[in-house]
Amino acid sequence: MHQLEQNPRAMIITPHILVAEGLKKLLEVTYPGIRVDTHTHSGPSTMDYTDTSLRLLIVDAAQAFYVPRIILSLRRKLPACAIVALEMGHTGVHHHIQFDDTINTLMTPDQVINAMRDLLTVHDKSPSAPQLTKREMDVLKRFVMGMTAREIAEHLFISVHTVATHRKKLSQKLGIKSVSGMAIYAVSLGLLQPEEVDSHKRD
């Protein structure tokens, strides 16, 4: 049986105040004891990466100028925190970032709660992380730093074809196709620091 984390905290970041307040009320009614903070924007003072009680971040997916930096830092410093994308209606935002789940303002309250229930509960077992070989980690690190397949091949003394094969296997193992998504995973593994990928190109 799943149990709610003890005294969990959630954060909602969106410029849409009414949406934020509605989600806050829904969480507080469904999970008595949860503490929910809302912010209309994100800045240096918004995120406290030392607060291990933070279990859920709901962030407006359309606010692309700050979302990547927040997620890279959270994956590295608070890996237990689930990150949920918030979409407004039929916006159809294309995610280059790996979220744990997505909710939409067109969803019913029950659908929203069902989407987040597993993210706020304690499980007996945690899913095991994909096992990567040392070579795959070497390719992953260089790939998210913006190196081309040819540059990676030269650095690792392998063929371009082998690099392409490693990338294909990485996508299959991680379930991630975008550079940004792989960057987040690399940071969570400690292969890179967030600042090492923030300035590099995205696909």
pLDDT in tens, 164-193: 999 988 888 887 777 777 877 777 667 777
| pTM, 2 dp | 0.58
Query: In sequence order, which residues have a C-beta less than 8 Å from that of residue 135 and are 6 or more positions away?
Result: 156, 166
Q: Is the pLDDT assigned to residue 42 strictly greater than 70?
A: no
Please give the CATH architecture assigned to the domain spanning 9-123: 3-Layer(aba) Sandwich (3.40)
pLDDT in tens, 4-23: 556 788 999 889 999 999 99
Q: Do domains 9-123 and 134-196 have the same CATH topology?
A: no
Structure tokens at 129: 């992380």
Nearest to 49 by CA among 32, 24, 69: 69
Alpha-carbon distances, residue 175 vs 1, 50, 98, 127 (angstroms): 28, 29, 10, 14
pLDDT in tens, 117-170: 777 765 433 444 567 888 888 899 898 888 899 999 999 989 999 999 999 888
Question: E strands of 88-190, at which residues?
Answer: 101-104, 121-122
CA 175 to chain centre: 13
Report domain extents, the chain.
9-123, 134-196
- Return the pLDDT at 1: 35
β-sheet bridge partners, residue 29: none
CB-based burial, 34-69: b 16+ in 10 Å, e otherwise: bebebbeebeeeebeeeeebbbbbbbbbbbeebbbe
- Return the pLDDT at 195: 65
pLDDT in tens, 51-71: 778 888 898 877 756 667 777
Do 12 and 36 touch, CB atoms closer than 8 A? yes
Looking at domain 134-196, its CATH class is: mainly alpha
Q: Supply the DSSP symbol for 61.
A: T
